[in-house]
Each structure stands twice: as structure tokens, then as C-alpha cells.
Chain A
Amino acid sequence: MAAMESTPVPGMRLYVIVWVALLLIVGAEVALTYAGLPTKTLLYALLTLAVVEAGLGVMYFMHLKYERRTLFWSLIPALIFVFIMMNQFWSDAYRLRSLHQ
């Protein structure tokens, strides 16, 4: 029987670098918020930065980068698919808005 693999743990130095990067991204988000961008542009910018933060968190803090690929491919595409499917509802939200105006 093959023994269960223990996840190789990167050193604290890498974690601190990722932590600093995450703090900088939060700072960038706040700066963008007060940069006077149009709402839609701001939303896309904040979402992009949040996805980058989530990626760093999942891959490094949660060690998914160091696990077998099968774990990544079993979990992440399904979740992304669910989020993509949720986008079907926007057209109804805009319909609702037009009804109120």
C-alpha cells in the first residue's frame, strides 16, 4: 500500500511574500475605489484583483499548488462552472430595474 503523501510545505519566507502581496492588493483596491472610475469599470477591476487574491490564497496558503493535479482538476473547474452558470440571472436583474424606472 502506498503511504499517504505529506504535503511539502514551502518556507515561511514565501508565505510572508504572499501575505505582503495580498496586503498590497487590498491597498490597490481601496486606491481604485477612490480613483473616480465608472461603477462598471471599478467592479471589473475589483473583481479581477479579488480573483488574483483568491488564487494566491488557494495555491499558496491552502497548498493546492503542492497537491496532486487531480485534486485541483476535481475541485476548481466545477466551482468555476457553478459561478459561470449563476451569470444567467443578470438579464432578469436589468429587466427588474427597467420596470422600476
Chain B
Amino acid sequence: MSEPEVSLALGHGAVLEESPFGIESKKLVMWLFIVADAATFGALLFGYGYLRVGSPNWIRPFAFIPTILNGMVMTAVLLTSSLTMLAAVGAAQAGRRGAGVRWLGVTAVLGIVFAALHLREWFNLFAQGWSPSTNPMGGSVLFGGTFFGITGLHLLHVVCGVVAILLVALAFRRGRLDAGHVETTGLYWHFVDLVWMFVFPLVYLMNAR
């Protein structure tokens, strides 16, 4: 049942007035979530900046190989997954259901690759003695807390995004969801990509040796 039909069935005549934004409610709600989540990540990054400025013994632990190079590969993977998500949305809107599902699958695989690269990096750091509360190189222990906190929250978003994409792909293939749902999921995925555009330079590059 479409949004206007639901409104009619519920007797909500006022809801049938044209939306001032000209988009479906689910898309508007996703935008509101994105703005709120952007403020959350913004607060975390400002908190990281605060601690960094306030700590005279802050260290820059990341060498080009492996960390920065790994971060570059992760960034390229995530950016490419945004492109495949756009292909999925385009196919879904054009009514090519099979192609839409396939592109969603490729996007999910790229998300999994990103998460795997991220976890590999984390475990390398753990093996070197890093943790959210320990710093094997000396200097401020706050580095681990901010690094694992910010990248961990982003990784959580990626994992949730992969799960959402797979669920939407399954339901879209069965005809239970429409192109609008694929587009709304795409909005979330692009946001995850966009957050990384700030995390990579501020958390990785600003801590490069």
C-alpha cells in the first residue's frame, strides 16, 4: 500500500497535502537520522581534537606502511562501494530488479572487505600492545581511546550498513520492498562513506609519522 493510500485508509486527510520537501517520509526520516548522526561523529571528532590539543605528549604512531597505505586502500574500497550503491539505486529505479540486487550484493561485499581490512589493522595494533587504554610507544594513553572509539563507531556503522543492504536486497528481490527503500538504504551507505572522509584525514593522516 502506498503512502497516500495508507493515509486515506487511516483518515488522515491533512497528510495528503503535498510534502514541502517533495520526498517520501522514509527518505526524510533517513535525512534527519543522518543529520543527527553527523552531529554525533562531529562531537566525537571535536572531542578527539580537544584531547589532542590538551595533551602535550601526544604521539604520531602511524607509519606509511602498513597503516596509512592500508587506510588508503580502505578509503578506495569504501568510495567504490558508494559507486556500486549508486548503480544499485539506478537499476532499481529503472525497474531492473535483478541488476539492482546484484549491485547491492557487490556493495555489501565491498563493505565486508572494508570491515575485514579494518579488523586486520586493529588486530595488528593489539599485537603491538595498543588498546583503548594502553600506549606501547609512550606518551598520552588517550590516543588509543580516541582511535578505537571513533573508528569503532564507524566500523559499527559499516557492519550495520552491510546487514541492512543484505536484508533490503533480499526483500527487494522478493518484491516486498521498492526502489525507494533501496535509495533510502543508499543514503545511509553514502553517509557512512562521508564520515570516513573526515575520519581518514583527521585520525589517520594527522597521526602519521
Contact = CB atoms under 8 A, between A and B. Distances in A.
Contact of B56 (A34, A39, A86, A97): A97
B35 A79 contact: yes
B75 A2 contact: no
B187 interface: yes
Interface in B69-92: 72, 75-76, 79-80, 82-83, 86-87, 89-90
A79 B32 CA distance: 11
Nearest to A94: B53
A82 B190 CA distance: 21
A53 B194 CA distance: 8
Interface residues of A, number: 52
B31 interface: yes
B89 A54 contact: no
Nearest to A43: B206
Contact of B16 (A1, A26, A57, A100): A1
Q: Is the interface of B mostly helix, strand, loop or mixed?
A: helix
Contacts of B200: 26, 29
Interface stretch (B37-45, B111-119, B125-133, B151-159): B37-45
Nearest to B16: A1
A100 B90 CA distance: 55
Interface in A58-83: 58, 61-62, 67-68, 70-71, 74-75, 78-79, 82-83
Contacts, number: 141
B141 to A, nearest CB: 14
Contacts of B201: 29, 46-47, 49-50
Contacts of A19: 79-80, 82-83
Contact of B22 (A43, A57, A67, A97): A67
13 contacts: A23-B79, A33-B68, A39-B206, A46-B206, A57-B190, A74-B21, A79-B38, A86-B46, A89-B50, A96-B53, A97-B53, A100-B55, A100-B56
Interface of A: 1-2, 4-7, 9, 12, 15-16, 19, 22-23, 26, 29-30, 33-34, 39, 42-43, 46-47, 49-50, 53-54, 57-58, 61-62, 67-68, 70-71, 74-75, 78-79, 82-83, 86-87, 89-90, 92-94, 96-97, 100-101
